[in-house]
Chains A and B, each alone.
Chain A
Amino acid sequence: MAISCEKDLEIEMEEKGGRLVLYSFIAPDSLFQVHLSKSVSHFSVDDFERVYDGNITVYKNSHIVDDFIFPFDDAWANRPGVNFVSGDSVLIEAADGKGQRVSGKTVIPQSVPVMLSDTIIVSRNDKNNGQKKVLNCKLTISDPSEVKNYYQLIILEKICRVENEVTECEQSKVNYDKNDPVFFVQDKEGSLIGEIDFDGCFSDTLFNGKKYNLEVDLPVEYTSAPEQSGTSRKIYFLLLSHTRGFYDYYRSKVVAEYGYDLPIIDPIRIYNNIDGGLGLVSGYNVASDSLVFEGVK
């Protein structure tokens, strides 16, 4: 590689782009949002092109529930009046002024309860410092049988302070150790080669239809109550139930992005479920449990 060099290359590539891109991630009791844009040629330095004359139509269980002009100056159109519940079938159609039409559909999955069943502080091997203390949390998931389930475990830390009878909260994502086999099916592969982090996204392959105790390790810093009086620390364990489409989309996107800076790896085709265009329409649902550490009163 020391004697390698690069040069510009003339390959006749078709000028692609201009396809409609539609995204919507729909959950019950959450703000309904839709994104509409257009793809651009790979030679472009822009990431996408705005749609100035886009129209969106939303169907719930085959009935129109929303129809609007897409706000071209926003990335997402927020539609507070549109609500969905588990099991709803959602179809979103989009079109531009030139007659290009795309559509995507999904069914909102049921939420799967998660319960924090145990916590304990344990010592773990650490490759940098020998030993480290972590908060080991055991989460019980009752996986429904008959259907294949796709999950994502997100852990959030919320620190709230009460000052002058006003509560101020800060929320941040907790980066937890994904040592549980569901994240890392260490059956026939090793771990030390640069692994890909799928951000807590996993399937029920190992526990389909059973009750499963999923274990995660949190840095021990999260176990203490805040020293400041009137401050509380709350750790939320959110178990997102996703569709298969989202699972495929998210994983293929993560793998594709892994190779963006490594031209030796072939580009990956990212899953999409938009007829006539690109993007994803997918429902999800959330169940949660939490752990609270109250500060000194």
Chain B
Amino acid sequence: MVVVLWAMTILVCRAQTPETKKFSVEILHGSSNELIEHLQEKSGYIISYSSRLCLKERLSLSTSHNTLIGFLQEIFRDCPFDYTERKNKIILRPLKLSEQSFTILGYVRDARTGERLLGSNVFSGNRQEGTATNYYGFYSLTLSGGPVDIYASYVGYNSQKQRFVLDSDTIIYFSLEPNIELPEVSVLGSRMPNLLQGGSFGSARVSMDRIVEAPALFGESDLMRGIQMLPGIQSGSEGFTGLFVRGGGPDQNLVLLDDVPVYNVGHLLGFFSIFNTDAVKQVAVTKDGFPARYGGRLSSVVDVRMKEGRNDRVGGSVSLGLLSSGVSLDGPVFNDKTTFALSFRRTYVDAFAALYQLGEDDKTNYYFFDLNGKISYELSERSKLFLSSYWGRDKLYSLYNYRDYEVRVGDSELSEKVAINDESNTGWGNFTGALRWNYVVNPQLFVNLTATYSNYRFFIGLKQSDDAQEQLNTYEQRYLSGIQDFTLKADFENYHNSNNTMRFGASGVVHRFNPGVDVVKESGSSGETEETSIGDVLVSGQEYRIYLEDEFSLSSRFFANIGVHSALFVGEGKPYWSVEPRLSLRYALTPSTEFKGSLSRMSQFVHMVGTAGYSLPTDLWLPVSERIRPMHSDQATLGVNFYLGAGRRFLLSLEGYAKSFRNILAYKESTGFFDYSTTWEDKLTTGSGESYGVEMLLQKNKGDLTGWLGYTYARTNVHFTELNDGNSYPARFDRRHDISLFMNYRFNKRITGSLTWMFGSGNPVTLPEERYYAPALSWGKPSEFGYSESVGSLNNYRMPAFHRLDLGVNFTKKKKRGERTWSFGVINAYGRQNPFLLYFSESENNPEGSAMRQLKQLSLFPFPIPYVRYSFKF
């Protein structure tokens, strides 16, 4: 009771203060002095104020009913003040600069091209406070007033510093010059978004320069291969670009191209990724400590950003490789407010193959191409619009059964012969489009609105002509499958102060899954075409997501990113929802030692039904259903970073992780991908898994020699009640040891050399151990094989270890109109025969009279493969 009375007294007293007591005034317009006098009359307070406060000749109050302090704040809206209350007297004094907060905001750009630099550090040296630019190059840093020095830095660029007195919100555009003379480059890039100095929440950025300079199969620089070199990330099999992150399958990676999810990232059955390095500005990979803004996949987020285009002039590049060539153009459109970037790449495998097959009756051929385009338009200093798109396709086709067909010319008796043929083809492709609008609502609030469309299609086609009874009939059958996504997203970033950035947002996705339709089209000589669709089933689902994330520092040593991500999936069955807490912590023990830890829960509502081992274009994406529940994972990490050497030249990072999976999918033993008489839900079984391991990364970021050495020790086991007699077994890519070494040496301004060496201990493989009698049933179809194979346990053996050395050298020379680079190198320099797959066959080396079978391995790239590439930048 006493407490309540005391509290009420406090409230009553507070109600009497000039801050809380409201009253009305009659005069709303006048000079500052006139209005203050009127306020004195109405409030009963004597108002005393410093002449340093800004007095105006004419101003207006927005309301006639307010508190005294409210009225005064309106009168002195341009000069923040503090006040003291003594009896019935209010004394106003202007705030000192150091007592006021102002926001410095703007963009960090490349001085040559005008392109915004994502993840640049913006740091005040005298305040020891900083931030980083977001994915659109925007930064906002709120500091107290007074003299401030502030500089922006970005890997590969000279830092830029500005000194001034901060006495109001200030816009600063940093334009950084590329740092060519002094190669101070980061091989793995900085981590971003690193709000705070030393902070490394979120993603590891892979340097595009290093990816381009690294040795590449057939000279095709590949972004995904660069990512595969990071600890904890594996390639499934040699040559493939699929990603297996900490025990997760390739479908557990969210690959975003300018915010649009891409469902199949492989060209040529996965040997090359669809990302043209000429078109990519930056790639960042997140495999743990997922900030709350990310969701939808269990294992990683690969965020690829396309180039925007320079604003000073039109430039570009041309590259010629053994397998494909490409051309890129970018520059301003009409003025420097609008820029474009366009990149096209195409193989000429088909041209070579056509020459090789010249004169042959049947022709089989293949090509792929991709086209990236982006237009950005600066509506104002606060607002920018981006329109970006990707279109790519792979097609393998055979032309056969060439023959002549007589066509009657008009009504005459004349006829002419035309060649007709049959065709079969298969292919796949992605189309993505994104429209984004950035808007700086106020100096501390940045908003990005996004609308995206993604379409992945796989098709098999058959086209046949038949000239029976003097009529040309054509028959066409196409099998189509794929997935379409329509997404709307709003992301907000609130830079509350230099120690606190809050991000929040929401998104909605409409998925349209097309698990397979046969389209049969027939046309006769009359010109009539009949089209029939079989199995045209569309499965739809909607995903809604919201998140809230706060990145803050508790002291100069302790940083945290805490958030929650929530998702709801509404499909044809019952709805599913998830709440996913995220936490990342970092503690700087000394300037050169910091500890880090994270906890994250992820869930996934779409899954890939494929051939399991390899990510192939035939893979189907399907949503959760009544029986197939969402996949979930929980991950915890703990690590330490050591910055070593003069100028922190070396970074040694050690990290341990433990991860569990629930509701992961696998095929039942009595079925498989090619079983079409069972519904997809019946073919699958769900299970659980766990992965844990230790990762080490030693980086050298500065000097002529840069590079990194990565090592991973990992274990991943899975458990399915319906598989392997209910016993746990190693996951398909449970690789115990992984080592990756990347070194880049700059001999001089013109010559750089690169070396990559990769080692992986053997992948698990299921090998049959016994053969036994297979009965030929009187009513059954005769078996091709007189035996059955018995498999003891799944993934019961391991393949031999994999290792490979790749070497490359780049010769760059300034030319009159640009810069040309010749790249030479060799893949698999010492000709290691790495296993791609194992199989049994009759042994050729048995002594006479005895017969035994032998286990053999197939290697895809068994000898040194040289490459050459020419590129010219202008």
A136 shortest CB reach to chain B, Å: 17
Q: B287-295, B329-337, B534-542, B544-552: which one contacts chain A?
A: B534-542
Q: Of B475, B481, B855, B860, which one neighbours A13 at CB under 8 angstroms?
A: B855
The answer to whether A265 touches B611, judged by C-beta atoms less than 8 angstroms apart, is yes
Q: Is the CB of B858 within 8 A of A263?
A: yes
Chain A residues with CB below 8 A from B613, complex form: 264, 266
On whether the beta carbons of A37 and B853 are closer than 8 Å, the reply is: no
A269 to B669, CA, bound (A): 6
Q: Which residues of A contact B843 (CB under 8 A)?
A: 8
A278 touches B790 (CB 8 A): yes
Q: Are A252 and B670 in contact (CB under 8 A)?
A: yes
User: B857 in the interface, Cβ–Cβ < 8 Å?
Assistant: yes
Instruction: List residues of chain A with CB within 8 A of the CB of B788.
Output: 253, 256-257, 270, 278
Tell whether, in the assembled complex, residue B672 and residue A268 are in contact, meaning their CB atoms are under 8 Å apart.
Answer: yes
The answer, yes or no, to whether B726 is at the interface (CB within 8 Å) is: no
Known A-B contacts A190-B479, A193-B460; A258 and B779 likewise in contact (beta carbons under 8 Å): no
Contact A189 B620 (CB under 8 A): yes
**Could you tell me the distance in whole angstroms from the C-beta of A284 to the nearest C-beta in chain B?**
9
**Chain B residues, CB < 8 A from A147:** none
With A3-B865, A184-B676, A191-B535 known as contacts, the answer to whether A17 contacts B770 (CB < 8 A) is yes
| Interface mask (B317-355 → A, CB under 8 Å = 1, otherwise 0) | 000000000000000000000000000000000000000
Docked-complex contact A255 and B675, CB < 8 angstroms: yes
Asked whether A265 lies within 8 Å of B672 as measured between CB atoms, the reply is: yes
Contacts of A264 in B (CB 8 A): 611, 613-614, 837
Q: Return chain A residues, CB-CB under 8 Å to B784.
A: 257, 260
For the complex, give the distance between the alpha carbons of A6 and B855 in Å. Answer: 10
A297 to B622, CA, bound (A): 60
Q: In whole angstroms, how far apart are the Cα atoms of A270 and B792 in the complex?
A: 11
A 93-129 to B, binary, CB cutoff 8 A, 1 in contact else 0: 0000000000000000000000000000000010111
Q: Which of B487-522 contact A (CB under 8 A)?
A: 515-518, 520, 522
Chain A 208-244 interface 0/1 with B at a Cβ cutoff of 8 Å (1 = within): 0000000000000000000000000000001010000
Rounded to whole angstroms, the CA-CA distance of A45 and B781 in the bound complex is 23
Q: Are A192 and B479 in contact (CB under 8 A)?
A: yes
- Shortest B628–chain A CB gap in Å is 11
Closest Cβ–Cβ distance, residue A287 to chain B (whole Å): 13
By beta carbon, the residue of chain B nearest A192 is: B479
Closest beta carbon of chain A to B620's beta carbon, Å: 7
Q: Quick one: CB contact mask for A145-175 with B, threshold 8 Å, 1 for yes?
A: 0000000101000000000000000000100
Chain A residue nearest in CB terms to B789: A267
Least distance between B526 CB and chain A CB atoms (Å): 13
Most buried by A among B473, B676, B833: B676
Complex Cα gap A129–B466 (Å): 7
A265-B618 Cα distance, complex, nearest whole Å: 14
**Interface residue A63 (Cβ < 8 Å from any Cβ of B):** no
Interface residue B747 (Cβ < 8 Å from any Cβ of A):
no
Among the listed stretches B43-51, B158-166, B172-180, B677-685, which one makes contact with chain A, having 4 or more residues with CB under 8 Å of it?
A: B677-685
Cβ-neighbour of A7 out of B777, B842, B857, B865 (below 8 A): B857
Interface residue? B83 (CB, 8 A): no
Contact among A5, A43, A251 with B675 in the assembled complex (CB-CB below 8 Å): A251
Known contacts A184-B677, A251-B675, A267-B766, A11 near B800 by CB under 8 Å: yes
Residue pair B851, A45 in contact (C-beta under 8 Å):
yes
Kindly state whether residue B590 has any CB partner on chain A within 8 Å: no
Number of A-B contacts (CB under 8 A): 267
Name the CB-closest residue of A to B614. A264
| Contact present for A267 and B670 (CB under 8 Å) | no
A224 to B791 Cα, complex, angstroms: 48
Closest approach, in angstroms, between the C-beta of B231 and any C-beta of chain A?
A: 27
Residues of B within 8 A of A187 (CB): 535, 537, 679
Kindly state the separation between the CA atoms of A4 and B839 in the bound complex, as whole angstroms. Answer: 14
Q: How far is the CA of A257 from the CA of B774 in the complex (A)?
A: 11
> Of A5, A257, A258, A279, which is within 8 A of B772 by CB?
A279
A279 → B minimal CB distance (Å): 7
How far is B534's CA from A46's CA once the two chains are assembled, in angstroms?
Answer: 45
Check A199 against B780 for contact (C-beta < 8 Å). yes
In the complex, are the beta carbons of A269 and B676 less than 8 A apart? Answer: no
Residues of B within 8 A of A186 (CB): 516, 534-535, 676
Q: Scan residues 2-47 of chain A and give those whose CB is less than 8 A from a CB of chain B.
A: 3-9, 11, 13-14, 16-17, 19, 21, 23, 25, 35, 37-47
Chain B residues closer than 8 Å to A8, beta-carbon distance:
843, 845, 854-856
A265 to B682 Cα, complex, angstroms: 19
| Chain A positions within 8 Å of B854 at CB level | 8-9, 43
Residues of A within 8 A of B672 (CB): 196, 255, 258-259, 265, 268
User: Does A75 have its Cβ within 8 Å of any Cβ on chain B?
Assistant: yes
B606 within 8 A of A: no
Cα distance, A177 to B656, chains bound together (Å): 57
B612, A266: Cβ atoms closer than 8 Å: yes
Per the bound structure, the CA–CA distance linking A258 and B770 in Å amounts to 18
Task: Give the residue of B480, B773, B777 whose beta carbon is less than 8 angstroms from that of A48.
Answer: B773
B675 touches A257 (CB 8 A): no
A38 CA to B781 CA in the complex, in Å? 24
Residue A271, interface by CB 8 Å: yes
Tell me the nearest residue of chain A to B781, going by C-beta. A199
Contact A39 B771 (CB under 8 A): yes
| Docked-complex contact A13 and B780, CB < 8 angstroms | no
Contact call A44/B679, Cβ cutoff below 8 A: no
A121-147 toward B: CB 8 Å interface, digit per residue (1/0)?
000010111100000000000000000
Given A189-B515, A265-B611: A256 touches B789 (CB 8 Å cut-off): yes
For residue B859, CB closer than 8 A to chain A, the reply is yes
- Among residues of B, the one whose C-beta sits closest to the C-beta of A152 is B779
B833 near A191: Cβ-Cβ < 8 Å: no
User: What distance in Å separates the Cβ of A51 from its nearest Cβ neighbour in chain B?
Assistant: 11
What is the 8 Å Cβ interface bit string for chain B, positions 837-874, against chain A (1 contact, 0 not)? Answer: 11110110100000111111111111101000000000
Q: Which of B778-823 contact A (CB under 8 A)?
A: 779-781, 783-792, 794, 797, 800
**Min CB gap B595→A, angstroms:** 42
Q: Is the CB of A6 within 8 A of B856?
A: yes
Do residues B622 and A251 form an inter-chain contact, with CB atoms below 8 A? no
- B858 x A23 contact (CB < 8 A): no
Mark interface residues in A39-68 (1 if CB within 8 Å of B CB, else 0).
Answer: 111111111100000000000000000000
Residues of A within 8 A of B777 (CB): 25
Contact of A260 among B475, B680, B785, B861 (CB under 8 A): B785
A-side contacts of B766, CB under 8 Å: 266-267
B728 to chain A, nearest CB (A): 15
B768 at interface by CB-CB < 8 Å? yes
Which residue from chain B places its CB closest to the CB of A202 in the assembled complex?
B677
Asked if A48 and B787 make an inter-chain contact with CB atoms under 8 angstroms apart, the answer reads: yes
Partner of B535, one of A47, A130, A190, A196: A190
- Determine whether B674 belongs to the interface, using a CB cutoff of 8 Å to chain A: yes
Query: B residues within 8 A CB of A5?
Result: 833, 858-859, 862-863
Are A191 and B855 in touch, CB under 8 angstroms?
Answer: no
Report Cα–Cα, A260/B480, bound state, in Å: 28
Residues on A with C-beta less than 8 A from B522 are: 125, 130
When chains A and B are docked, how far (Å) is the Cα of A251 from the Cα of B678?
11
Q: Which residues of A contact B865 (CB under 8 A)?
A: 3
Q: Which residues of B contact A248 (CB under 8 A)?
A: 670
For the complex of A and B, list the 7 residue pairs with the smallest distance between their C-beta atoms, beginning with the closest.
A190-B516, A192-B479, A263-B839, A47-B787, A39-B772, A252-B670, A48-B773
Given A130-B522, A185-B678, A195-B676, 4 new contacts (CB under 8 A) = A39-B771, A187-B537, A188-B539, A268-B669
A-B contact list, 12 entries, CB within 8 Å: A8-B845, A8-B854, A11-B838, A37-B773, A45-B851, A48-B771, A185-B679, A188-B539, A189-B680, A264-B613, A267-B767, A279-B773
